[in-house]
Structure 1
Amino acid sequence: MAARRAQGLVLQRHGDRGKALLSLFSVEDVDYLTGDVGRAALDEVAGYPLTAATRVADIASARTRFGARAPVLIETVLLRRRAVAKFADPGRWLFTDEALQQSTAAAVAQHRARRLAGAAVHDVTCSIGGELAALRDSASYVVGSDLDPVRLAMARHNLGDVELCRADALTPVTRDTVIVADPGRRTGGARRFDPRAYTPPLDRLFEVYAGRDMVVKCAPGIDFAAVRQLGWMGEIEVTSLGGGVREACLWTGGLADAGVQRRATILDRGEQITDADPDDCDTGPPGRWIVDPDGAVVRAGLVRQYAARYGLWQLDPEIAYLTGDALPDGVRGFEVIDTVDYRERVLRQAVAAHDAGSLEILVRGVDVDPDALRTRLRPRGSQRLALVITRIGAGRASRAVAYVCRASR
C-alpha cells in the first residue's frame, strides 16, 4: 500500500472551510479510470455540480456510490474542468494536479510544434502528453519518455498512438532527435527559481545533450543571465497568450534564426519581434497615445525593437512605456488628456476635474499599490479613465509623473 501511495500523490483542496480531499493516483487507478466501469463512473460524477455549495454532499454521494474510488473520480472530473483553460478538448484526458499546472496551453504547444515541423522529436519529460499531442501533427516522428509510471500510463491513454517509454531525462535513449524538455519547477507546490534546482537541473540537461538540437521550456520569470551563465548560447523566446506571458523557451542555435538570441512571440497577434530587428527608438515627451507593450516584448527586453517597428518612442530610456501619435492596429492604448505631477492631492484634483469614476491605474518605475491608490483617490464621477504613472529622468533630476488618459478600448 505504501508503494502504491508513493506513485502519484495529489493533495487537492476542495470546497470551503479548507476541507481537503486526498486523491491517490496509481497505475491501478489509471487502469480503472480507462476501463468500461471507470469511464461510466466518470460520466456519472461529471454530472455532479461540485460547487462550493454542493461539494460536501457531492463527495458524500460519490463515496456512497463508488466507495474507495470516489477520490480519483472526483479529482479527475475537477481537473478536467480546470483543464479547459489550457486544452481544447480535455473531456477524456487524465491528469494529475501537478501535471496540469505545468502543462502547456494548447496554442503555445502548437506554436512550438510548428517551429519543429518535419523534425524527429523526443520529449524527454512527456508527463501526461500535452506537448506530444501537438507535436505528432507536425513532426516527422515523435517519441515520449518520463520516469513517472502514473503519468506515462495517463499519456498512453491520452495519446493512444504515440510511442512512449519509461526513462530518466538525463539518460539519452534516442539518437538524431531534437530533444524537448519541460523540467519540473515546483516542490510541494512551491516554485523553484534557480534553474539548477529544476527537475532535471538545466545545467545537467545542457551537459547531457551537448551538441544536440534542444528545446527547453522554462518559467517566464527565469533569470536570463543565470541561463547564460550555465553556458546557454542559443535563443530565448518569450511567448504571450491572452494578454499574459506564458513561458520562456530555450532553443539551440540550430533551431533558431541566424543572429537571434531573444524573441518575443505574441500569439494573439501572430507577431514576433527579435533582437535582430532595428531598434532605432527616440526618447521624448508624450504624443497622443501611450502604449504599454505586450508582456512578452517587455520580458524579452525588446521594447526598443517594438517601438521602432511601429514608429513609437520612449517616455524614458529605462521605462517600458512607449508613446506616439498613432496606435498600432489592434493594440490597446491610452489617449493622453492631461499630465500632472505624481502627488496625491494633485491627482485627486485631476480625477475630480475629469469626472473620473472607473479608474484603471498602470504603474512603472514608481513604488505604489494601484488598488490602494484608487481607494485613496475616491473617483466618483461618470467617466471611464486611466492613470499611467511612471518615473521620468534619472538621479536627482528624476520625477514621478501621472498621465490622465482615456483607454482606446
Structure 2
Amino acid sequence: MDRAELVELLSPQGLRLLDGLPAWDSKADIVRTVAALRHEGHPPGLVATVLSQSRLRARARAKFGEFASRMLFTEAGLEQATRLQVAALHAGRFARAGIHHVADLGCGIGGDALALAAIDLEVTAADSDEVTAAIATYNLTPFPKVRVLHARAEDVPLGGIGGAWLDPARRTTSGGTTRRLADAADYSPALDFAFGLADRMPVGVKLGPGTDRGVIPAEAEAQWVSVDGDVVELAVWLGSVARPGIRRAALVIRDDRAAELTADGDSEDAPVGPIGDYLYEPDGSVIRARLIGDLARSNGAWMISAGIVYLTADTPFDSPFARGFRVLERLPADERHLRQALAARHVGTLEIKKRGVDVDPAALRTRLKLRGDERATIVLTRDEGRHVALLVERL
C-alpha cells in the first residue's frame, strides 16, 4: 500500500466501504465482487485497497481475534506482528519491572504497543515507514497514552522513557512480494543498536526463532515461545526485564495455557540408549532453547541417537513440553519392505514423521502406493545410528 492508497482508504468513504464489506470469503468470486463495487461507483483503486484490507483482516484474526475487524494492516506488518496473547506477556514484563513508559521502536502495525497500552502503560511508538506509522496511529487511536512517530528507531528521543521494546524489521516488500531477510546484519534497526540500548535502560528484543544464537548477548535471557506447536519468536531480555539466573527459556502456550522450562544455560544432552516403549518429540521451543537434556532427565528419558532430538522411555510420562507416542512395532526401514508391511496392515492414510533421515514424506507417501481403510503414523529416524521405521500411536 502506498501513501495515496492509504489516504483514500482513511477517507470517510473508504472506511465506510471497508467496514460495510461482508466477512472475507476466499472461495467467493472476487471478479464479481469487484464488478459489483465498481458498479456502485467506487473508484477502482479504492476497491482494490479495501478488498486487500478485508483479506488481511481475515488472516489477522489468528493473531488479534475480534480486534482485527477494526484494525488496518500491511502485508509485511501482519507477517511480523506479535500475537496479542504473546504481546500481553511482553507488556507484563515491563509492568512487573516497574516501568511506566515504554518506547516501542519499530512498532509495525502496533500490536505490541496495543498490549502495552491495554495495561495503562504510556507508549512512544515509532516506525521508519510512513505508511506503517500511519496505520499504527489508526490502530492505536483508542489509547490516549500512546503517541506514534514516523521516525527511525535511532532518532527517537528517549528522555523520560523507562524501557524499550524493539521488533527489528526482518522482512522486506518489493513488487507486492514479502520476503524474509536471511542475515541479521540487514535488520532495521541493527541489532548492535537494539542491544546497545541496554546500557541505558531495560530492553526486550523480538527476533525470529531461527536467529543465529551467536548474536544473543551472553548476559541476556533468551526465551523461545511456541503457540499451539508453532515456534513464533525468540525474545531477548536485558536489564531488569530479564529474570535473574535464567539464560535459556522455552515457553509453551497451548489452548490458552502456558508452561515454561528454564535454565541458566544450554543443557547437556541426555545419554543415548535403545528405543523403549515410548517415543517423545520435544516442543520446538525446547529444541531451540537447547533444553532437551533437562527435559529428558526430569522425566526418566534418554536420547535415541546423537544429534536426534527424539527422546524415549520405557514408561509413559505427561509433559507440556513434548508430544508422546506409544511404539507399537518396528517396521522394515527399506522402502520395498515398508510398502509391503503397510499393505498387509491395510493402511490407506499415513502420517510420516522424520528426524535424522533424508526423506521427502510427500514423495515417499506417493511411492508407497497406499490402499486401505486404516490410518497409521510412522516415525523414520535413527536408533543408536541405525535407520529405523517405527509404527506408533499418539498418546
TM-score after normalising by structure 1: 0.84
Which residue matches 1:405? 392
Which residue matches 2:124? 143
| Matches of 2:202 and 2:32, distance apart in 1 | 52
Tell me how far 1:30 sits from its aligned partner. Answer: 5.0
Choose which of 172, 180, 203 in structure 1 pairs with 2:192. Answer: 203
- Is contact 2:169-2:187 (8 Å) kept? yes
Which residue matches 1:182? 167
Choose which of 335, 342, 348 in structure 1 pairs with 2:333. Answer: 342
Letter in 2 for 1:185: R
| Matches of 1:343 and 1:280, distance apart in 2 | 29
Choose which of 101, 107, 129 in structure 1 pairs with 2:85. Answer: 107
Structure 1 SS opposite 2:231: strand
Tell me how far 1:244 sits from its aligned partner. Answer: 0.8
Which residue matches 1:243? 229
Tell me how far 1:310 sits from its aligned partner. Answer: 2.7
Tell me how far 1:232 sits from its aligned partner. Answer: 5.5
- Is contact 1:25-1:150 (8 Å) kept? no
How many residues were matched structurally?
376
The 5 A counterparts of 1:225-374 are: 225=214, 227-228=215-216, 231=217, 233-268=219-254, 269-276=257-264, 281-324=270-313, 325-328=315-318, 332-374=323-365
Which residue matches 1:31? 10
Which residue matches 2:42? 66
Structure 1 SS opposite 2:168: coil
Change (3 A) 1:48 1:309: closer
Change (3 A) 1:40 1:361: same
Change (3 A) 1:215 1:237: same
- Is contact 1:42-1:73 (8 Å) kept? yes
Change (3 A) 1:139 1:194: farther
- Is contact 2:303-2:311 (8 Å) kept? yes
| Matches of 2:248 and 2:184, distance apart in 1 | 18
Choose which of 53, 58, 61 in structure 2 pairs with 1:81. Answer: 58
Render the CA deviation track for 1:133-180: whole Å, top value 9, x for unaligned.
111233643221222332222222212222223321012412342111
TM-score after normalising by structure 2: 0.87
| Matches of 1:62 and 1:298, distance apart in 2 | 50
Tell me how far 1:333 sits from its aligned partner. Answer: 1.9
Aligned CA RMSD, in angstroms, stands at 2.4
Letter in 2 for 1:107: Q
Change (3 A) 1:48 1:166: closer
Tell me how far 1:345 sits from its aligned partner. Answer: 2.4
Render the CA deviation track for 1:102-128: whole Å, top value 9, x for unaligned.
111112212222222242321011122
Tell me how far 1:253 sits from its aligned partner. Answer: 4.5
- Is contact 1:279-1:308 (8 Å) kept? no
Which residue matches 1:384? 375
| Matches of 2:50 and 2:125, distance apart in 1 | 26
| Matches of 1:50 and 1:88, distance apart in 2 | 17
Structure 1 SS opposite 2:317: coil
Structure 2 SS opposite 1:104: coil
Structure 2 SS opposite 1:136: helix
- Is contact 2:109-2:133 (8 Å) kept? yes
| Matches of 2:211 and 2:76, distance apart in 1 | 19
- Is contact 1:30-1:153 (8 Å) kept? no
Letter in 1 for 2:132: R
Letter in 1 for 2:63: K
Quick check: 159-168 or 101-110, which moved more?
Answer: 159-168
Change (3 A) 1:141 1:271: same
Tell me how far 1:74 sits from its aligned partner. Answer: 1.7
Quick check: 348-357 or 176-185, which moved more?
Answer: 348-357
Structure 1: segments with no counterpart, 5+ residues: 1-7, 10-22
Structure 1 SS opposite 2:371: coil
Structure 1 SS opposite 2:282: coil
Change (3 A) 1:294 1:139: farther
| Matches of 2:286 and 2:307, distance apart in 1 | 14
| Matches of 2:118 and 2:244, distance apart in 1 | 26
Tell me how far 1:279 sits from its aligned partner. Answer: 5.9
Letter in 1 for 2:33: D
| Matches of 1:181 and 1:294, distance apart in 2 | 26
Letter in 1 for 2:84: A
Change (3 A) 1:348 1:264: same
Letter in 1 for 2:42: F
Tell me how far 1:181 sits from its aligned partner. Answer: 0.8
Choose which of 46, 56, 80 in structure 1 pairs with 2:31. Answer: 56
Structure 1 SS opposite 2:10: helix
| Matches of 1:57 and 1:163, distance apart in 2 | 41
Tell me how far 1:93 sits from its aligned partner. Answer: 0.7
- Is contact 1:128-1:154 (8 Å) kept? yes
Which residue matches 1:173? 157
